[in-house]
């Protein structure tokens, strides 16, 4: 297959472009700024690296409503130097300078004999030759989706050079006809070549990650994992499968899902069997963090996929602290920890033997009233 040179417009090239009423993201995609109905993009020149270079296809992705018109301007030259106001200037600096009026820049395109195409996002540029290719895009109206994936592909087809010399007339009807078929073939091949990206857990779609986990025998249905945790779990799935049935696998799963380590109790003989199971096959997991009810059942379902056969799994969620209800009391010499301030209900008093750490009772401390009742200060 003949060699295809691809010039992709990514974030680095967009950062050196002149944008009018457009904004960009970190991926180099362009969005409507909604400040004006006229939007312009002036790209830095594409350099073929040789004189009298022949250019092929220009493609990009954009979705615009019916009342919005997209126009592409392009021309090729052997040099970027030109004379402006009797001063030798550089086309690249002039066209990529945002302080210049876009109408004046398009006048330069017109003087250079630029071609213009309306309403198309896949253009054959067989009618221009030169080392440097200049491209400008004008959008009249508004659009929601991004302008993205701008590419220049040379020579634009892969079929012409396989034919006899008599059929290789560049830009002729037969050439353009074959270019349509060649474009379909190349685009399809690009999708095949780029599919490996979909297998990368760092960039693959979230829906695909659930499928990939299923390939490795892990059921992650239910959409209970955040995207970041889902990617991490799928990435570590081969390692977790190797450790399936072990304490280490359960610990790592809990750490990924809950972002904290859990306590796993396997041997009931060391603990109270009424709390931690009735036989040696029972496994109890103690979790400190708060977990929503829906997520509890999904976590239990996930962990059960990694326990040995005959194992009975039980999860106990520990509360962060203990509390006293209205029918509880503190005995003599009891201590209340981490208490800064004591409050008394109406008609209640403190016994002389009660110690409240954090704020020791000192001489001069008095009982005052606030909105919630008496307070020791």
Domain boundaries, the chain: 5-156, 206-317, 324-377
How far CA 374 is from CA of 142, 193, 349, 361, 368, in Å, comes to 65, 75, 10, 15, 5
pLDDT at 296: 87
Report percent pLDDT > 90 for the chain.
Answer: 30
pLDDT at 359: 43
Q: What residues of the chain score a pLDDT lower than 70?
A: 1-3, 156-161, 165-168, 267-277, 319-330, 332-377
pLDDT at 267: 65
Give the HSE-up count for residue 196: Cα atoms under 13 Å, Cβ half-sphere.
4
H helices of the chain, where?
11-15, 91-95, 102-111, 173-193, 206-215, 227-235, 237-242, 247-258, 273-276, 293-304
How far CA 83 is from CA of 95, 105, 260, in Å, comes to 14, 14, 67
pLDDT at 142: 85
Both tokens assigned to 48: 């073929």
**Residue 24 DSSP code:** E
CATH number of 5-156: 2.60.120
pLDDT at 89: 92
Which residues are CB-contacts of 197 (< 8 A; sequence separation ≥ 6)? Answer: 203, 204
Give residue 39's Cα distance to chain centre: 27
pLDDT at 345: 61
């Amino acid at each position: 297959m003949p060699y295809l040179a691809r010039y992709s417009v990514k974030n680095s090239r967009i950062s050196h472009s002149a944008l009018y009423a457009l904004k960009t993201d970190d991926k180099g995609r362009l969005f409507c700024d909604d400040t004006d109905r006229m939007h312009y993009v002036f790209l830095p020149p594409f350099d073929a690296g040789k004189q009298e270079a022949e250019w092929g296809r220009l493609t990009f992705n954009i979705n615009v409503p019916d009342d919005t018109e997209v126009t592409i301007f392009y021309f090729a030259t052997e040099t970027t130097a030109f004379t402006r106001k009797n001063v030798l200037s550089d086309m690249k600096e002039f066209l990529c300078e945002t302080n210049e009026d876009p109408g004046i820049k398009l006048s330069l395109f017109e003087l250079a004999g630029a071609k213009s195409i309306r309403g198309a996002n896949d253009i054959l540029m067989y009618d221009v030759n030169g080392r440097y290719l200049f491209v400008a895009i004008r959008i009249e109206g508004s659009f929601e989706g991004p302008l993205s994936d701008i590419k220049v592909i040379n020579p634009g087809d892969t079929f012409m050079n396989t034919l006899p010399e008599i059929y290789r007339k560049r830009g002729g009807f037969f050439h353009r006809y074959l270019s349509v078929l060649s474009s379909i073939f190349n685009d399809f091949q690009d999708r095949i070549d780029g599919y490996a990206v979909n297998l990368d857990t760092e960039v693959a779609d979230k829906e695909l990650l659930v499928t990939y986990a299923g390939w490795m025998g892990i059921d992650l249905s239910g959409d209970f994992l955040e995207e970041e945790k889902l990617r991490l779990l799928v990435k570590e799935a081969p390692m977790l499968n190797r450790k399936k049935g072990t304490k280490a696998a359960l610990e790592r799963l809990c750490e990924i899902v809950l972002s904290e380590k859990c306590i796993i109790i396997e041997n009931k003989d060391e603990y109270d069997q009424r709390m931690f199971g009735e036989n040696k096959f029972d496994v109890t997991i103690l979790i400190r963090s708060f977990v929503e009810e829906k997520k509890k059942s999904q976590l239990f379902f996930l962990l059960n996929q990694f326990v040995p056969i005959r194992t009975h799994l039980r999860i106990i969620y520990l509360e962060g602290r203990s509390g006293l209800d209205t029918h509880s009391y503190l005995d003599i010499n009891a201590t209340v920890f981490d208490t800064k301030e004591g409050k008394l209900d109406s008609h209640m008093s403190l016994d002389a033997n009660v110690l409240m750490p954090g704020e020791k009772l000192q001489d001069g401390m008095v009982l005052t009233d606030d909105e919630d009742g008496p307070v020791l200060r």
